[in-house]
Amino acid sequence: MTFPTNLGALIARGENGDRGADALAIIGLDDGFNERQYTFAQLDALADAVAYTLAGQYARGERIALLAANSADYVATMLGIMRAGLVAVPVNYKFPRALIADVIADSGACLVFTDSRRFADAPVMLPRVVFDGEQEAPGEQGFASFIADSKAQGRTFEPVIPHEKEAALFLYTSGSTGRPKGVVLSHASHLWVIETRLKAQPLGGERVLIAAPLYHMNALALVFLALAARATTVLMPAFNARNYIRAIDTYRCTWLTSVPPMIAMMMQERELLAHTDLSSVRYVRMGSAPVSGALLERTHALLPNAQVINAYGTTEGGPVVFGPHPAGLPTPAYAIGAAHGQVELRLVDTNGELASEGELELRSRGLMNGYHNRPDLATPITPDGFYRTGDVFRRDENGFYSFIGRRDDMFVSGGENIFPGDVEKMLEQHPSIQQASVIPVDDAIKGAKPVAFVVLKPGAQLSAEEVKAFALEHAPAYQHPRQVWFVDAFSLASTNKIDRTVLKGEAARRLADEEHPEKT
């Protein structure tokens, strides 16, 4: 296909054949598993209607926020915003209301698209358009009403041609380690991402299942990719393990994008899985968190026809980082891949020297423009144009990269550097352990020490002492968890990754209870 210059114009027009305008673009599901189908022509017309209305009311470059669960209307609106030369700002609706207001204010958004469930969380001083609103309340306009005039005209909107590096999106980071940062992404950077990914693996004819939130890069990049490829997207409003399994079976989904905790939660639904057919799945792109060897094995058992892609990407640097080995060598089980042919990578150690283990720095056409409205932050872009990711990797003798952990997650215990991911991978090799999460707690002698929360496989039994003994046998002594607590499941952050902040608070509470049992 000929790629557009505007990211909102991903749905190519005038194409014939099996993936033409009447092909199915989105099967939108609600929480009750009710579906609504959209062809590419219908989605395209909806995006044009949004663009026409916005272009008549707002100036080029103004920001428009989206505060809602996943839906086809959400996707069409995002496309329409960008077609009109405006900037789309997807907002994490799981943030507290005050933080939502701060993010929207920081972005400078002048309009908010929302849904009835999140309407009250949108700032009252801004006009609000409600996707599923049937009756309009004060300060509210229904989506159908908003686009009524432009939709009735039935005209094709000519997308604005962006200038070099013109912003298309602001994506705000999760804010788990401080005030969220607005990552400014250009039309050009993410059109390059889409074109590069489709050259490596065309998606035409696939059925893509998306349940991760569209305010996160993992899901957003895939929905863009599917639209450009004329693939069908099965879109869930949010992740629900039972509905996710049902969707795979009902719609014969072939491509999943997921994070490890989502797959682990699927595995808990043993009764449903026993009479569900998941054989249609051919690809699972696992990103946003490292995949343990144990989870990888169980994923292969759950989805025997699927190739599991251990993916990596960042909001600032995009999802095109690694790829297959240029000499065709097979990727080791725990590695992510070799350097992508169009991306420059280097590892820098704590002394600022190039090394085989260190912080990953990357340079490509997919990099962000910078952070919006944050002069207080030192730029993460080096003078020679590399993005410092904050992620620590190890490169082997064949050029394959393996994720070690977040530089910020690393802690020192008795003079030894500990990456939680290293310890978690080791613990998850135990045949009875399904998932482990390791965090530091304060220690008067060592400064910090590791403790572990563990989810056992269904029906398994294990003691804390047995977990400690396994760790001492399979890893350096300083890595073994000094406390082990068993839980049924992990709390997930807004990006469906394990919420380490919640676990740190839980660890502090449990340690306090053990120290002062009379208060419990």
- CATH number of the structural domain spanning residue 349: 2.30.38.10
pLDDT of residue 17: 42
Query: What are the distances in angstroms from CA 500 to CA 138, 404, 419?
Result: 40, 17, 14
Report DSSP state, residue 431: T
Query: What are the distances in angstroms from CA 278 to CA 103, 282, 287, 357, 497?
Result: 39, 10, 20, 38, 23
452, 499: one domain: yes
In a domain, 246, yes or no: no
Going 219 to 224 to 228 to 234, the CA torsion angle's sign is positive
Q: What is the mean pLDDT of residues 3-27?
A: 79
Residue 251 CB: number of other CB atoms within 10 A? 17
Partners of 486 in the β-ladder: 454
pLDDT of residue 291: 62
Work out whether strand 232-235 and strand 207-210 pair parallel, antiparallel, or are unpaired.
parallel
The pLDDT-based confidence of 268 (bands split at 50, 70, 90) is confident
The pLDDT-based confidence of 491 (bands split at 50, 70, 90) is confident
Q: For 399, how many CA atoms within 13 A lie in the half-sphere containing its CB?
A: 15
Q: What is the CATH number of the domain that holds 494?
A: 3.30.300.30
353, 416: one domain: no
In a domain, 497, yes or no: yes
User: What token pair was written down for 219?
Assistant: 């899901």
User: What token pair was written down for 52?
Assistant: 């026409």
In a domain, 302, yes or no: no
pLDDT of residue 155: 73
Averaged pLDDT of the chain: 89
Q: Is 67 exposed, middle or buried (0-12, 13-18, 19+ CB in 10 A)?
A: buried
341, 481: one domain: no
The C-alpha atoms of residue 400 and residue 322 are separated, in whole angstroms, by 9
Q: b or e along 11-43 (b: 16 or more beta carbons within 10 Å of the residue's beta carbon)?
A: bbeeeeeebebebbbbbbbeeeeeeeebebebb
CB 227, CB 265: distance < 8 Å = no
- Please provide the DSSP assignment of 192-238 as one string: HHHHHHHHHS--TT-EEEE-S-TTSHHHHHHHHHHHHHT-EEEE-SS
The pLDDT-based confidence of 1 (bands split at 50, 70, 90) is low
Among 454, 462, 386, which Cα is nearest to 426's? 454
Q: What is the mean pLDDT of residues 130-141?
A: 75
239, containing H or E segment? none
41, 172: one domain: yes
pLDDT of residue 174: 66
Work out whether strand 128-130 and strand 112-114 pair parallel, antiparallel, or are unpaired.
parallel
Full residue range of the structural domain in which residue 387 is found:
335-405
52, 150: one domain: yes
395, 424: one domain: no
392, 445: one domain: no
Number of domain units in the chain? 3
In a domain, 188, yes or no: yes
Longest Cα–Cα distance of the chain, Å, equals: 74
CB 452, CB 436: distance < 8 Å = yes
112, 65: one domain: yes
381, 416: one domain: no
The C-alpha atoms of residue 430 and residue 312 are separated, in whole angstroms, by 25
362, 438: one domain: no
The C-alpha atoms of residue 352 and residue 358 are separated, in whole angstroms, by 9
Q: What is the mean pLDDT of residues 416-445?
A: 86
Is the pLDDT assigned to residue 294 strictly greater than 70?
Answer: no
User: What token pair was written down for 378?
Assistant: 């030192």
Q: What is the CATH number of the domain that holds 159?
A: 3.40.50.980
pLDDT of residue 176: 47
In a domain, 340, yes or no: yes
The C-alpha atoms of residue 319 and residue 356 are separated, in whole angstroms, by 22
The C-alpha atoms of residue 480 and residue 446 are separated, in whole angstroms, by 13
Partners of 387 in the β-ladder: 362, 381
Of 298 and 86, the one with more pLDDT: 86
Final residue belonging to a domain, choices 382, 405, 428: 405
Backbone angles phi, psi at 192, to 5 degrees: -65, -40
CB 30, CB 236: distance < 8 Å = no
Q: What is the mean pLDDT of residues 482-493?
A: 87
The pLDDT-based confidence of 136 (bands split at 50, 70, 90) is low
In a domain, 305, yes or no: no
User: What token pair was written down for 194?
Assistant: 């889409």
Final residue belonging to a domain, choices 359, 389, 405: 405
pLDDT of residue 289: 58
The C-alpha atoms of residue 381 and residue 402 are separated, in whole angstroms, by 22
Final residue belonging to a domain, choices 162, 183, 199: 199
Give the range with max mean pLDDT: 41-55, 151-165, 433-447: 41-55
Gyration radius of the chain's alpha carbons: 23
pLDDT of residue 516: 64
- Please provide the DSSP assignment of 159-180 as one string: ---PPTT-EEEEEE---TTSS-
The pLDDT-based confidence of 18 (bands split at 50, 70, 90) is very low
In a domain, 422, yes or no: yes
User: What token pair was written down for 364?
Assistant: 């490509």
371, 512: one domain: no
Encoded amino acid at 71, one letter: S
472, 375: one domain: no
Query: What are the distances in angstroms from CA 404 to CA 111, 334, 419?
Result: 41, 10, 7
In a domain, 270, yes or no: no
SS3 123: coil
